[in-house]
Chain A
Amino acid sequence: MSELTELSAAEAVAEIRAGEVSARELFEAYRERATDDELNAYTWVADGPPTEMPAASTPLAGVPVAVKDLFCTEGIPSQAGSRILEGYRPPYTATVVAGLQDAGATLLGKTNQDEFAMGSSNENSAFGPVRNPWDRERVPGGSSGGSAAAVAGGSAPWAIGTDTGGSIRQPASLCGIVGLKPTYGACSRYGMIAFASSLDQAGPFARDVTDAALLFAQMTGRDWRDSTSTGLPEPIELPTAEDLRGIRLGVPADLLGDAGEDGTGIEPGVRASFEAALQLAEGLGATIETCSLPHAPHALSAYYLIAPAEASANLARYDGVRYGLRVAGDRSLEEMYSRTRGEGFGAEVKRRIMLGTYALASGYYDAYYGTALKVRTKIAEDFRAAFAEVDFIVTPTAPTTAFELGAKTADPLAMYLNDYLAVPMSLAGIPAISIPSGLSNGLPVGFQLAGPAFSEGRILNAAHALERAIGFDGSAVRAGSGVHGA
């Protein structure tokens, strides 16, 4: 059984088609691992394989996928990590999930996450924190912590998550796997329980860039049910690049200042791993240049106005009326709303709703939300200008490796700072990937590559070439999770 889960998803597809591997047996092998998962990565696991497995000729050939809980899956709990949606079973399925199933993916389980995608450590879930398979006393990152832990811990071959301000890339970095946030609009948001509508994007987690591309290719497309979706101008093909000749990589000095300056604490081990990856990139033929993103240091501030503002509007629907938790009793309608929301939302969600409501309130709107939207314009302009000079912008994905559970929960600001390298790309709507660049004190470090809008194909190729040179091996950690394993 354990050998089946050693196969990458792409290998599994090939072996299923060659008749060497049974898709049903592969599903069962993963399902057992998911059921025995000790990382709390799952909030729901399938109780068996589908009655009818997809045909081997489909693009994904029946290979199972783990899905972040905020993707609506008809008839299956979709709780977005929140007590206010505990037990909620949607009457429809998210477009991205339906698309994957049409392409031959099978639903393995729903993964744990920070509540309503708000968090960078998966400690904000109403269903308990998720643990990092590299060190179970540490966080996997967030908000897609469950999806990342499942892939890194070997209980899912691949998974999908969402990234609003780093929620795919940062957990990918902390768990030593690949995570991609696409161009805003590449994937449909229909059926994705919303956090911040101008930022949320679905994306893949995988153990390598080839698998990420294979999964991502089946996630994109214009959807009439999401008017912000555009799909991609060209289909995604599996990456083949083995060098970076002619590629110019831009290192943004504005974001990578001296450690400790203004709270931008990039751990020395993370910086060292980043520099080593840059050297490998040069060895592959890339040129490294400094680039300027003058407004990027303000991205975090703008993000923590825009995202909570949008969240305060999106989460207004959780009022105990049509679905989810209702705190009942002999109360007026308004009291029912306030009690339900007061009891159903966790502390971080309440904080962000409050922040967002304040930023949009009469008298504060222009000073806060309005200003943040202008900063966003400047950040997008900075990236466009930089991409006239370089092909990709590169940074460490996160300033630190996985921190201990509870280490950053006392101060919300300390937690928010985890995302400062990821958030500029989110605000600009541009795609970015995180690939493992190595270890620091035994914990994974992520390398982020960002490109202009719709450059996912080129990003995947560059990442593929660099990944080969880095040679990161997460197989031992994959084998270690669950009772069944090597």
Chain B
Amino acid sequence: MLERAQVVHVARLARLELDESELERMAGELSSVLGHIDRIRELDLTGVEPTASTAAAPDAEASTGAVMRADEPVPGLTQEQALAEAPEPVDGSFGVPSPGPVE
């Protein structure tokens, strides 16, 4: 069972504000899911390599050419386009609240 303190810690890592009832529910729900998932830790996986992605491996002959595009500049967004959805554009940049004092 996940401790409340663990849930608070993980929520902080994830920059997620959870209210009291959410924190309580979250502890129970995560514990339930982790309880089910836990069984994979009983498998004997000695010597097994992890697979992070099933993307086809780059062609051995093409080597770096297979996943890297040519180093040629291509058009990107204009500053105006990039700021079009900004909640608080400030002088051509993204305005944000101050980080506040260092803890």
**Partner-B contacts on A (CB < 8 A):** 88-89, 91-92, 184-185, 197-198, 224, 227-228, 230, 295, 298, 301-302, 304-305, 312, 316, 319-324, 326, 328, 330-339, 341-343, 345, 347, 350-351, 353-355, 357-358, 361, 367-368, 370-378, 380, 411-413, 416, 427-429, 453
| Cβ–Cβ contact A429 & B16, under 8 A | no
Not counting A328-B87, A332-B100, a sample of 17 additional A-B residue pairs whose C-beta atoms are within 8 angstroms of each other reads: A89-B84, A91-B85, A92-B77, A184-B55, A185-B54, A224-B69, A301-B36, A321-B86, A322-B94, A323-B85, A326-B87, A331-B97, A341-B16, A342-B16, A354-B11, A371-B41, A374-B51
Q: Which 5 residue pairs are nearest across A and B when measured between Cβ atoms?
A: A429-B54, A373-B50, A342-B17, A332-B100, A323-B85
| Cβ–Cβ contact B82 & A350, under 8 A | no
Closest to B81 in A: A91
**Contact sample, A vs B, 16 pairs, CB 8 Å cutoff:** A89-B84, A92-B77, A184-B55, A228-B53, A230-B55, A304-B37, A305-B37, A333-B98, A335-B17, A336-B97, A353-B14, A355-B33, A371-B40, A375-B43, A378-B45, A427-B54
Q: Kindly list chain B residues whose C-beta atoms are within 8 Å of the C-beta of A302.
A: 40
| Cβ–Cβ contact B41 & A367, under 8 A | yes
B63 CB to closest chain A CB (Å) equals 14
Closest to A230 in B: B56
Size range of the interface on B? 35 or more
| Cβ–Cβ contact B82 & A91, under 8 A | yes
| Cβ–Cβ contact A184 & B54, under 8 A | yes
Flag whether B60 is at the interface (Cβ < 8 A). Answer: no
| Cβ–Cβ contact A361 & B10, under 8 A | yes
- Chain A CB within 10 Å, residue with most, of B16, B32, B81: B16
| Cβ–Cβ contact B52 & A198, under 8 A | yes
A359 CB to closest chain B CB (Å) equals 9
State A334–B68 Cα separation when bound (angstroms). Answer: 35
B31 CB to closest chain A CB (Å) equals 11
| Cβ–Cβ contact A324 & B85, under 8 A | yes
Q: Kindly list chain B residues whose C-beta atoms are within 8 Å of the C-beta of A380.
A: 51, 54
Flag whether B49 is at the interface (Cβ < 8 A). Answer: yes
Among B33, B45, B55, the residue within 8 A (CB) of A416 is: B33
| Cβ–Cβ contact A354 & B16, under 8 A | yes
| Cβ–Cβ contact B29 & A322, under 8 A | no
Given contacts A185-B56, A298-B39, A361-B13, contact A374 B50 (CB under 8 A): yes
| Cβ–Cβ contact B33 & A304, under 8 A | yes
What is the interface of chain B mostly: helix, strand, loop, or mixed? loop
Flag whether B1 is at the interface (Cβ < 8 A). Answer: no
B45 CB to closest chain A CB (Å) equals 4
Closest to A341 in B: B16
Among B17, B37, B77, the residue within 8 A (CB) of A91 is: B77
Q: Kindly list chain B residues whose C-beta atoms are within 8 Å of the C-beta of A341.
A: 14-17
Among B19, B32, B39, B100, the residue within 8 A (CB) of A412 is: B32
**Contact digits for B6-43, partner A, Cβ 8 Å, 1 yes 0 no:** 11001101111111001000100110111011111101
| Cβ–Cβ contact B48 & A378, under 8 A | yes
Among A89, A351, A361, the residue within 8 A (CB) of B30 is: A351
| Cβ–Cβ contact B39 & A355, under 8 A | no
Flag whether B62 is at the interface (Cβ < 8 A). Answer: no
Q: Kindly list chain A residues whose C-beta atoms are within 8 Å of the C-beta of B99.
A: 332-334
Q: Kindly list chain A residues whose C-beta atoms are within 8 Å of the C-beta of B52.
A: 198, 373
Q: Kindly list chain B residues whose C-beta atoms are within 8 Å of the C-beta of A184.
A: 53-55
A362 CB to closest chain B CB (Å) equals 10
Closest to A325 in B: B87
State A113–B50 Cα separation when bound (angstroms). Answer: 31
| Cβ–Cβ contact B45 & A428, under 8 A | no
| Cβ–Cβ contact B30 & A355, under 8 A | yes
B50 CB to closest chain A CB (Å) equals 3
Q: Kindly list chain A residues whose C-beta atoms are within 8 Å of the C-beta of B34.
A: 355, 358
Q: Kindly list chain A residues whose C-beta atoms are within 8 Å of the C-beta of B43.
A: 295, 298, 371, 375, 378
Q: Kindly list chain A residues whose C-beta atoms are within 8 Å of the C-beta of B68.
A: 227
| Cβ–Cβ contact B50 & A376, under 8 A | yes
Closest to B55 in A: A228
| Cβ–Cβ contact A198 & B54, under 8 A | yes
Among B18, B36, B45, B98, the residue within 8 A (CB) of A371 is: B45
Given contacts A338-B16, A342-B18, contact A91 B84 (CB under 8 A): yes
Q: Kindly list chain A residues whose C-beta atoms are within 8 Å of the C-beta of B32.
A: 411-413
Q: Kindly list chain B residues whose C-beta atoms are within 8 Å of the C-beta of A304.
A: 33, 36-37
| Cβ–Cβ contact A370 & B50, under 8 A | yes
| Cβ–Cβ contact A322 & B54, under 8 A | no
Given contacts A350-B18, A354-B26, A357-B14, contact A321 B96 (CB under 8 A): yes
State A354–B96 Cα separation when bound (angstroms). Answer: 25
| Cβ–Cβ contact A227 & B67, under 8 A | yes
Q: Kindly list chain A residues whose C-beta atoms are within 8 Å of the C-beta of B54.
A: 184-185, 198, 380, 427-429, 453
Q: Kindly list chain A residues whose C-beta atoms are within 8 Å of the C-beta of B33.
A: 304, 351, 355, 412-413, 416
Given contacts A351-B26, A354-B30, A412-B33, contact A319 B15 (CB under 8 A): yes
B96 CB to closest chain A CB (Å) equals 6
| Cβ–Cβ contact A373 & B51, under 8 A | yes
Q: Kindly list chain B residues whose C-beta atoms are within 8 Å of the C-beta of A198.
A: 52-55
A227 CB to closest chain B CB (Å) equals 5
| Cβ–Cβ contact B49 & A377, under 8 A | yes
